[in-house]
């Protein structure tokens, strides 16, 4: 039986033209976040075409990329305690279709607890990813209902507000340290928007957050000798050429640049121009200097104090923290008081 996937997009038109304008604007204007000098930037979405998703999946199996294994370690050992608050008829909402290597531990905990009438919603901007991820779960977990929400996170908040049963308690899941992909102020603002828009008193939020640690450990995680991260970032050039339907970027003129910013506590992935070159895109002419960087993605790490400020700014209550066996990574349980 195929899973139910609901198109919840506020805008039904294709998103590629909008993304193209975001890319062009980001290339034309230099912006600074924190202590870095102003740089050009493209949205991290350009990393995640079909090929990019395949590469990222391979990255999650690398030994040095500790984040995935650490989170699986936590969920395998602590999912029962983490989800002890879930009652019959509750709903789970995972932001991003996620890896079933992780989500299966969440679903197993629900089954072990004997909970009935649980509904699991997965939110993703890829309808294909939703269908592929949810299809095997329908038969594997017959006591749980599965629904895919095809749209953005913001679309899902509006849909849940209007369509989710008001009597059902909600538990949001935001795993994979995805929260680290946005600057700290934006992360807090996003959590607050969910808290204010889609959470009732007593609802919960489970968030995977990577800890601050030695820069060498972080660099090893995001700059592997096998070159998967390099290919992951450089593939964004091919994806952008596909979006523009034109050879805007010559891949041979770019390299992947990996930086750990200890002051800001984040890894920064960039495209680096190997030569002075001019790019023409949507009527804009962009002159890149030799060695100039184009920012592609952040991966923020959090200290204990930074995590506490995040929760306070979001207007949430901190309930508990679950650490992996090597104390590198945490999954936090928040709630709305």
Residue 274 DSSP one-character state: S
- How far is residue 330's CA from residue 322's CA, in Å, rounded to a whole number? 5
In a domain, 125, yes or no: yes
- What pLDDT does residue 133 have? 92
Q: Are residues 144 and 240 in the same domain?
A: no
Taking residues 308-315, report their average pLDDT.
Answer: 97
Q: Are residues 306 and 291 in the same domain?
A: no
In a domain, 100, yes or no: yes
- How far is residue 286's CA from residue 300's CA, in Å, rounded to a whole number? 29
Taking residues 119-143, report their average pLDDT.
Answer: 93
In a domain, 14, yes or no: no
- How far is residue 264's CA from residue 328's CA, in Å, rounded to a whole number? 18
Q: Are residues 168 and 52 in the same domain?
A: no
Q: Are residues 200 and 225 in the same domain?
A: no
Weakest mean pLDDT among 1-10, 42-51, 165-174 = 1-10
- How far is residue 237's CA from residue 271's CA, in Å, rounded to a whole number? 9
Q: Are residues 112 and 33 in the same domain?
A: no
The tokens of 131 are what? Answer: 């269908």
In a domain, 12, yes or no: no
Taking residues 204-218, report their average pLDDT.
Answer: 97
Residues 177/329, Cβ–Cβ less than 8 Å: yes
User: How many CA atoms are closer than 13 Å to the CA of 73, on its beta-carbon side?
Assistant: 14
* pLDDT > 90 in the chain, percent: 87
CA 328 to chain centre: 19
**What is the count of structural domains for the chain?**
2
Taking residues 237-256, report their average pLDDT.
Answer: 98
Q: Are residues 295 and 310 in the same domain?
A: no
pLDDT, tens only, 92-101: 999 998 778 8
Band (14; pLDDT cuts 50, 70, 90): very low
In a domain, 223, yes or no: yes
User: How many CA atoms are closer than 13 Å to the CA of 197, on its beta-carbon side?
Assistant: 18
Expressed as residue numbers, the domain containing 108 is 63-213+302-335
Q: Are residues 252 and 149 in the same domain?
A: no
Name the most confidently modeled range: 27-36, 68-77, 153-162: 68-77
CATH assignment at residue 165: 3.40.50.150
In a domain, 156, yes or no: yes
Q: Are residues 56 and 177 in the same domain?
A: no
Residue 202 confidence (pLDDT) above 50: yes
Residue that the structure tokens 């049963």 belong to: 165
Q: Are residues 180 and 323 in the same domain?
A: yes
Angstrom CA distances, 1 to 6, 44, 93, 128, 323, stand at 16, 34, 21, 16, 37
- How far is residue 187's CA from residue 180's CA, in Å, rounded to a whole number? 8
Q: Are residues 308 and 292 in the same domain?
A: no
In a domain, 259, yes or no: yes
Q: Are residues 54 and 93 in the same domain?
A: no
- What pLDDT does residue 13 have? 42
The tokens of 253 are what? Answer: 């003129």
Q: Which of 333, 296, 331 is nearest to 77 (CA)?
A: 331
- How far is residue 199's CA from residue 336's CA, in Å, rounded to a whole number? 7
- How far is residue 160's CA from residue 123's CA, in Å, rounded to a whole number? 11
In a domain, 5, yes or no: no
pLDDT, tens only, 138-164: 999 999 999 999 998 989 999 998 999
* pLDDT > 70 in the chain, percent: 97
Band (59; pLDDT cuts 50, 70, 90): very high
Q: Are residues 195 and 102 in the same domain?
A: yes
């Amino acid at each position: 039986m195929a899973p139910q996937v609901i198109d919840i997009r506020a805008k039904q038109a294709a998103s590629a033209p909008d993304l193209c304008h975001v890319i062009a604007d980001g290339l034309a204007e230099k912006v600074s976040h924190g202590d870095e000098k102003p740089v050009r930037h493209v949205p991290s979405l350009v990393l995640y075409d079909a090929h990019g998703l395949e590469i990222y999946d391979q990255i999650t199996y690398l030994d040095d990329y500790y984040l995935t294994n650490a989170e699986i370690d936590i969920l395998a050992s602590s999912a029962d305690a983490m989800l002890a608050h879930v009652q019959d008829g509750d709903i789970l909402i995972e932001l991003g279709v996620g890896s079933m290597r992780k989500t299966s531990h969440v679903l197993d905990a629900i089954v072990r607890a004997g909970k009935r009438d649980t509904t699991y919603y997965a939110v993703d901007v890829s309808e294909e990813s939703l269908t592929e991820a949810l299809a095997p779960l329908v038969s594997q977990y017959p006591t749980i209902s599965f629904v895919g929400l095809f749209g953005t996170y913001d679309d899902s908040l509006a849909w849940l507000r209007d369509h989710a049963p008001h009597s059902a308690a909600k538990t949001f899941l935001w795993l994979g340290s995805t929260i680290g992909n946005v600057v700290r102020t934006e992360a807090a603002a996003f959590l607050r928007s969910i808290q204010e828009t889609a959470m009732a008193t007593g609802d919960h939020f489970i968030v995977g957050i990577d800890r601050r640690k030695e820069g060498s450990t972080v660099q090893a995680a995001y700059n592997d000798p096998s070159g998967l991260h390099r290919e992951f970032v450089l593939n964004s050039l091919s994806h952008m050429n596909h979006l523009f339907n034109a050879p805007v970027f010559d891949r041979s003129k770019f390299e992947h640049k990996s930086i750990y910013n200890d002051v800001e506590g984040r890894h920064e992935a960039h495209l680096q121009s190997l030569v002075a070159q001019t790019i023409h895109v949507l009527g804009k002419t962009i002159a890149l200097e030799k060695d100039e960087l184009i920012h592609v993605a952040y991966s923020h790490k959090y200290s204990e104090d930074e995590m506490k400020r995040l929760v306070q700014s979001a207007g949430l209550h901190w309930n508990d923290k679950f650490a992996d066996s090597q104390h590198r990574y945490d999954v936090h349980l928040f709630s709305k008081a």
